[in-house]
Chains A and B, each alone.
Chain A
Amino acid sequence: QVQLQESGPGLVKPSETLSLTCTVSGGSISSYYWSWIRQPPGKGLEWIGYIYYDGSTSYNPSLKSRVTISVDTSKNQFSLQLTSVTAADTAIYYCARRVYHYDGSAYYLIFDYWGQGTLVTVSS
């Protein structure tokens, strides 16, 4: 059973950088896409971006200028950095696995496993 666990500071000061790590256990980080998603308190889900195990990335255009996602295959981890944070970045941050699968006749895009989430508050 694949498990994902987010870790990092729960409190970040405005204008500083938010840094989170997602540790993958029960399976390899290789051959999959790994995503970050966030959810402000009481609001909906927002996709932040993803990284493929080879290091290629895609980011939400609204956050692209402030986001960097990286991967460390030796540690089975991937990380999120969000710069110049404000109170609007206060949210539960989730990591999740995305699978792009071809079964010989059709392609499938699958979000399957999620971490439990970690609350990050931006406040001085």
Chain B
Amino acid sequence: QTVVTQEPSLTVSPGGTATLTCASSTGAVTSGYYPNWFQQKPGQAPRALIYSTSNKHSWTPARFSGSLLGGKAVLTLSGVQPEDEADYYCLLFYGGAQVFGGGTKLTVL
């Protein structure tokens, strides 16, 4: 069974930089896994942020960016705002199947 791993939690100061990672139990994450990232605030549905590694949706704030580094997919938040406090999920594609990471709870403190 394929497992996608994220940091369970991360704390960052306002104005700082948060780096969230997404790893696959099958090995290095590449662009062929088409990493997608989502933000979910309490009581809300997930909202798409990044698709296919590094592409932003029209509604994605400029401070969010996606990349690959060290065999993992990475979501970077530069200049973190208080409203960025949320759960963040990555999604990887394995042929016909998709697997979500366990999520990272980002606290802005």
Contact = CB atoms under 8 A, between A and B. Distances in A.
A114 B96 contact: no
B52 A109 contact: yes
A44 B46 contact: no
**Per DSSP, are chain A's interface residues mostly helix, strand or loop, or mixed?**
strand
- Looking at chain B's contact residues, the main secondary structure is strand
Contacts of B55: 108, 110
A104 B77 CA distance: 30
Given A44-B89, A45-B46, A94-B46, A110 B36 contact: yes
Interface of A: 35, 37, 44-47, 50, 58, 60-62, 94, 106-117
Contacts of A37: 100
Given A109-B51, A109-B52, A47 B34 contact: no
A58 B100 CA distance: 15
B97 A60 contact: yes
B40 to A, nearest CB: 8
A106 B52 CA distance: 10
Contact of A45 (B51, B97, B103): B103
Contact of B57 (A60, A94, A112): A112
A117 B52 contact: no
B93 interface: yes
A11 to B, nearest CB: 20
